[in-house]
Amino acid sequence: MASYRTANRAMFWRILRRLLGANRGRLLVILLALGAGAAVTAALFNLQIDAKRRLTTEFRSFGANVIIAPASTGQASGTATISETLLEHFPNQTSLRSIPRAAFLYAIAGVTAFSGEGTDGTKLGTAPVVIAGYRFLADDLKQIVPHQVIEGDNAVILDSETCEIGEKVASQFHLHVSAVLKLKTEKAEVSCVVSQVRSFGGIEDGQIFIPLKTVQRLAGLPQQVSLIEVVVPGTPAQIEHYLDDLRNQFPDAEVRPIRQFTEGEAKVYDRISGLLTATVAIVLLLTGLCVMAAMTNVAMERKMDVGLMKAIGGSMRRVLRLFLAEAALLGLVGGVIGAGLGIVLSMGLGKAVFGVAARPRLIVYPVAVALTIIVAILSAFPLRRLASIRPASVFRGEA
Amino acid sequence: MFLRLVADSFGRRPRHKLLTGAALALGMGVATAALSVSLDVGDRLAKEFRSLGANLLVTPQADSLPLEIGGVDYRPVNAGAYLPESDLPKLKKIFWHNNIMGFAPVLEVPAKAMVSGRDDVLERSANPLSWPTIPLIGTWASHAIHLEDGRGFETGVERTNPWWQLMKGRWFTEGARECVVGKNLARKAGSHVGGKFVPGLPMGDSLVVYRGGNEAPLFLKAVGILDSGGPEDDVVIVPLSIAQQLAAKPGQYRKLYVSALTKPEDASAKRDPKSFTPAEYDRWFCTPYISSIAFQIQQELPGTDVRVIRRVAEGEGQVLTRVRMLLWLVTGAALLAAALAVGASAAASVIERRTEIGLMKALGAGSGTVGFLLAAEQLLLALVGGGIGYALGIILARMLGQKIFGAAPEPSLIVFLVVIALAAGVTLLGSALPLRRASRYEPAPILRGE
């Protein structure tokens, strides 16, 4: 009995092998369709998970979304300050990403502009201008306050000799790079060389940017800043969470989100992630159905095989089991190859879109393979309809 | 005879044809849905991004430098230049007028003001010169503009600053003696403004504004409390006409915020327009880039300086470009999968018809005739399947658009043509390889079943 069963099983595998090998053209076609489906499934799943995370980083191209300012129940607004040391004492975020931030101190100074170095430069004019002292903990100030450099080198060395000016200041005094500015307040006087002209499209266009220390000296406010602008990355919920951390850390200051960006972004993020999920879902569903229809079509062409097996005494259950096993095997192979390709594909796509390769997620792989096997098995099921087939009529070519 | 053969093939194997057709229709449905969404998404998302507010700032060209710290302009009222309010409807006359979603002129006036109606502050209010200086911002909340073509256009800060929320109450009515109070000023306990204590201005109370000399003070009733999350929380928003009256600048404003629908700038659009060739210039002018809209506004409103609010515009451009690219890639992947599956289906149907091909050849048909016949069948199927798929895809894309953006994408002819062409191309390509092999078949062994 045992040997009969073993022989039976051996026969089963042998028939299966022959079924697969019988028509190589067909085998290739089936693997191609299943593999394509698996590849797209894996690529889209992987890309979708990665894209949502990446989008929140992308949104930070809007610059700062949180401001830490003196509590508003202090003295006159605009002149209140907070300690510069706050800049150093930021709570750590759970993920290891750093939080770009910059401190600003604003003052009004009498500015005299000269067209060039020393005494030979001609005087271009005098006017009161807002000077913004700044110090940032980030790769670039652009991360925090987006702007375009219209004139001058992109790289700026933060030292007391140079300053950067807004576009409006430049046009007001007809200033260009390497012009000299004398800044004078009641407390002190300094001069600096213009190294950059920046375009912001906001009030910053009317400001002169110099290192924080210099403004602190000019304003007589050592170790003080007017406000700190912070770039908090993450989803709307993560940002909200980090805001609470900040409020706990700095109970004396007012921590407020820049609603213009936090709210606008939350809205846009919801839309984009909804769009992405829905598109991916529809594409996957239709692709799955499409692959299934194609596979069913292939399966239905095999009347001859079914007829032959029935003619030599195979029961319909056994015949069906054979075909299902074949389908599952094909699904497995197609899925394993396709999903592997798909993950590589999604890494490439991630690199193309976001400049950073999408991180492959392990969970995607088994899910894509399993889905492919399911699609393959489901598409073999319509063979059951052939149960009523009469072998003789198949061979006569009637059916 | 040819047509009869084709018709016969469909009639004899309806289920096979149905399945191949279904695979085609589903595949082309994916293609249509993904293409429609991708084509449409740029405009829709650009509209969504307008919730970030204005992306253009218009100021007088001859203006002096603003001395603005913490949202308060320290310039005296008589310094700097102003712009005429009467020019504003011209904004809706530029080439891209339909892309102007809203605009709001702003006039800031610092004013000596006090709160009336509360006993504890009455004695202090005797001498107006000792009143604190409160910044007032005059603007439009919701202002109707009549355009030349007879249509109306509603605009104001509700359009340009959608994140401004009224915590309580309503916006002021145009021209009425009403105001909306920033939430910090509205605190009952009062707050410090400009170094002086201001008692809280809750809703229903009036702000008394000193107009200088012997003129009777102006009473503005607080009808709403504003939460802006920005420096506007410390000011009072008043109708533009009231601010003009207080600043003695009738019909004028100082800043104008414009919210425009734009297309992300590509590398060529970022160049200086002066360096364009005429053809490049035309292309640039006729594309809603932020720079070309700024240029057109500057032409239409003389004496202005139009600046791109980089913060909003650059971030928007970057995110939009990324999302569009992402969707195009998803579309590409969908097209690829659909094409492969449909091609496989087509190939399978040819492979399985060896006997039929052998029979036809035995009866004297040449390889060309056989190939032509099968290709015609596949093409017919592709047209029908592609058409059904297109309809299916459009329905899905509409559902998607409706659900996510509340507006359905328009069916487009291009998508239809692309989808039909794709369907035909894929089926033909899928059948081509097996057909080539079939044309080499010797009929005799096939018919013998070898």
Question: Where a domain ends, among A257, A281, A301?
Answer: A257
> Is A283 part of a structural domain of the chain?
yes
A75 and B336 within 8 Å at the Cβ level: the answer is no
> Is A389 part of a structural domain of the chain?
yes
Judge if A284 and A144 occupy the same domain: no
Is B194 a residue whose pLDDT tops 70?
no
Q: Which residues face B133 on adjacent strands? A: B112
Neighbours of B218 (CB within 10 A): 18
Provide the chain B residues 314-373 that lie in CB contact (below 8 A) with chain A. 314-316, 318-319, 322-323, 325-327, 329-330, 333-334, 336-338, 340-345, 347-349, 351-352, 355
A78 and B195 within 8 Å at the Cβ level: the answer is no
DSSP helix/strand/coil, A79: coil
In this prediction, residue A24 carries a pLDDT of: 75
Inter-chain contacts counted by CB atoms under 8 A, chains A and B: 289
Is A173 a residue whose pLDDT tops 70?
yes
Residues of chain B contacting A228 with CB distance shorter than 8 Å: none
User: For residues B251 and B86, what is the distance between their CA atoms, to the nearest angstrom?
Assistant: 7
> Is A5 part of a structural domain of the chain?
no
Question: Where a domain ends, among A257, A287, A317?
Answer: A257
Share of chain B above pLDDT 90, in %: 4
Q: Do A260 and B52 meet the contact criterion of CB atoms below 8 Å apart?
A: yes
Q: Is the dihedral of CA B366, B372, B375, B381 positive or negative?
A: negative
The answer to whether B39 contacts chain A (CB < 8 Å) is no
In this prediction, residue B258 carries a pLDDT of: 92
Q: Do B232 and B137 meet the contact criterion of CB atoms below 8 Å apart?
A: yes
- CA distances for A178 relative to A117, A133, A175, A182, A207, angstroms: 8, 19, 9, 13, 17
Query: Which of B345, B347, B376 shows the shortest CA–CA distance to B437?
Result: B347
Which residues constitute the domain of residue A289? 15-57+268-395
The answer to whether B48 contacts chain A (CB < 8 Å) is yes
- Give the DSSP letter of residue B213: T
pLDDT higher for B33 or B3? B33
Judge if A23 and A120 occupy the same domain: no
Q: Is the dihedral of CA B370, B372, B377, B378 positive or negative?
A: positive
Residues of chain B contacting A78 with CB distance shorter than 8 Å: 69-72
In this prediction, residue B196 carries a pLDDT of: 60
Q: Is the dihedral of CA B74, B78, B83, B86 positive or negative?
A: positive
Mean pLDDT (chain B, rounded):
81
Whole-complex ipTM: 0.75
Task: Say which residues have a Cβ less than 8 Å from residue B186's Cβ, sequence separation at least 6.
Answer: B200, B201, B202, B203, B222, B225
Q: Do B100 and B94 meet the contact criterion of CB atoms below 8 Å apart?
A: yes
Residues of chain A contacting B352 with CB distance shorter than 8 Å: 26, 298, 301
Q: How far is A214 from chain B (nearest CA, A)?
A: 18
pLDDT higher for A296 or B227? B227
Reported as a pLDDT band with limits 50, 70 and 90, residue B105 is very high
Judge if A170 and A228 occupy the same domain: yes
Q: Mean pLDDT, to the nearest integer, of A369-391?
A: 80
Helices (H) and strands (E) in chain B, counts: 12, 18
In this prediction, residue A336 carries a pLDDT of: 92
Judge if A71 and A195 occupy the same domain: yes
CA atoms within 13 A of residue A274's CA, in its CB half-sphere:
16
DSSP string, A223-291: TEESEEEE---S-HHHHHHHHHHHHHH-TTEEEEE-HHHHHHHHHHHHHHHHHHHHHHHHHHHHHHHHH
> Is A3 part of a structural domain of the chain?
no
A72 and B191 within 8 Å at the Cβ level: the answer is yes
In this prediction, residue B125 carries a pLDDT of: 55
B26 and A286 within 8 Å at the Cβ level: the answer is yes
Q: Mean pLDDT, to the nearest integer, of A26-42?
A: 83
What is the count of structural domains for chain A? 2
Q: Which residue of A has its CA nearest to B38?
A: A279
End-to-end CA distance of chain A: 38
Q: Which residue of B has its CA nearest to A76?
A: B195
In this prediction, residue B117 carries a pLDDT of: 59
Q: Mean pLDDT, to the nearest integer, of B317-326?
A: 83
Judge if A52 and A80 occupy the same domain: no
Judge if A295 and A358 occupy the same domain: yes
A73 and B27 within 8 Å at the Cβ level: the answer is no
Reported as a pLDDT band with limits 50, 70 and 90, residue A74 is very low
Give the CA angle between residues B391, A38, B37 to the nearest 5°. Answer: 35
Q: Which residue of A has its CA nearest to B353?
A: A301
Reported as a pLDDT band with limits 50, 70 and 90, residue B314 is confident
Share of chain A above pLDDT 90, in %: 3
What is the per-residue pLDDT across B18-53, written as a single tens digit (0 to 9) for each?
Answer: 877 888 888 888 888 888 888 887 778 888 888 888
User: For residues A85 and A87, what is the distance between their CA atoms, to the nearest angstrom?
Assistant: 5
User: For residues B167 and B223, what is the distance between their CA atoms, to the nearest angstrom?
Assistant: 11
B65 and A268 within 8 Å at the Cβ level: the answer is no
Judge if A293 and A325 occupy the same domain: yes
Residues of chain B contacting A72 with CB distance shorter than 8 Å: 184, 191, 233-234
> Is A10 part of a structural domain of the chain?
no
Q: How far is A283 from chain B (nearest CA, A)?
A: 6
Reported as a pLDDT band with limits 50, 70 and 90, residue A76 is very low
What is the per-residue pLDDT across B379-415, written as a single tens digit (0 to 9) for each?
Answer: 888 888 889 989 988 888 888 888 877 777 777 888 8
Judge if A131 and A182 occupy the same domain: yes
Q: Do B265 and B317 meet the contact criterion of CB atoms below 8 Å apart?
A: yes
- What's the predicted TM-score (pTM) here? 0.77
What is the per-residue pLDDT across A292-327, written as a single tens digit (0 to 9) for each?
Answer: 777 777 776 677 777 788 888 878 788 888 888 888
Provide the chain B residues 256-295 that lie in CB contact (below 8 A) with chain A. none
> Is A179 part of a structural domain of the chain?
yes
Q: Do B108 and B76 meet the contact criterion of CB atoms below 8 Å apart?
A: no
What is the per-residue pLDDT across B359-380, written as a single tens digit (0 to 9) for each?
Answer: 787 888 777 787 788 888 888 8
User: For residues B14 and B96, what is the distance between their CA atoms, to the nearest angstrom?
Assistant: 54
Judge if A49 and A141 occupy the same domain: no
Q: Is the dihedral of CA B261, A261, B51, A78 positive or negative?
A: negative
What is the per-residue pLDDT across A225-278, written as a single tens digit (0 to 9) for each?
Answer: 988 998 888 888 888 888 888 888 888 888 888 888 888 888 888 888 888 888
Judge if A340 and A297 occupy the same domain: yes
Give the CATH number, domain containing residue A176.
2.40.40.20
What is the per-residue pLDDT across B152-192, written as a single tens digit (0 to 9) for each?
Answer: 888 888 888 888 888 888 898 888 888 898 888 877 556 65
CA dihedral B47, B53, B59, B65 (to 10 degrees): -140
In this prediction, residue A96 carries a pLDDT of: 46
Residues of chain B contacting A79 with CB distance shorter than 8 Å: 195
Q: Mean pLDDT, to the nearest integer, of A367-375?
A: 88
End-to-end CA distance of chain B: 29
> Is A244 part of a structural domain of the chain?
yes
Reported as a pLDDT band with limits 50, 70 and 90, residue B72 is low
Residues of chain B contacting A257 with CB distance shorter than 8 Å: 229
A282 and B313 within 8 Å at the Cβ level: the answer is no
The answer to whether B12 contacts chain A (CB < 8 Å) is no
Judge if A252 and A275 occupy the same domain: no
Judge if A94 and A182 occupy the same domain: yes
User: For residues A34 and A30, what is the distance between their CA atoms, to the nearest angstrom?
Assistant: 6
- CA distances for B76 relative to A123, A171, B81, B129, B244, angstroms: 25, 21, 11, 17, 15
A293 and B19 within 8 Å at the Cβ level: the answer is yes
In this prediction, residue B124 carries a pLDDT of: 54
Q: Which residue of A has its CA nearest to B333?
A: A40
Question: Where a domain ends, among A257, A291, A325?
Answer: A257
Residue type, A87: L
